[in-house]
A = this chain, B = another copy of it.
């Protein structure tokens, strides 16, 4: 894979800031590609996986659609439709919230929990294989990304 200049056949960048934007977009695509390969055999998209992870993190407590939305990595994704897809696969349950009938309580099913458990090791392995960095570099990168967003 190597340097971004070779990967996209661009000789040089206007400035390091411009290069960083391109590098982020390209690296994102690289990571998502590995995730797609991993999840595809299980008929799951990375985004659907993320919703399941959020629901499991609630430890069985019902979670409203808007609460899922708030916790999603992409704030513009559509939790309502993702939940719909997961429900069709019986990975989540969806019930009207008794205290506020506008809201919808979403809970991960046992089938959903089983799928997450099954993927656990694969995801961990995939991450470590895809990220060609030492623990120190990973920590450094995490700090820089946190700082990037201000």
Contacts and interface: CB of A to CB of B under 8 A. Distances in A.
Interface in A19-62: 19-33, 35, 46, 57
B71 A145 contact: no
Contact of A144 (B29, B71, B144): B144
B74 A27 contact: no
Q: DSSP class of A's interface residues: helix, strand, loop or mixed? A: helix
In the assembly, how many copies of this chain are there? 2
A142 B24 CA distance: 8
19 contacts: A1-B149, A2-B149, A8-B72, A10-B71, A14-B124, A16-B135, A16-B138, A17-B138, A20-B133, A21-B35, A24-B31, A25-B28, A26-B74, A29-B74, A33-B76, A132-B149, A133-B144, A133-B147, A140-B140
Contact of A70 (B9, B19, B35): B9
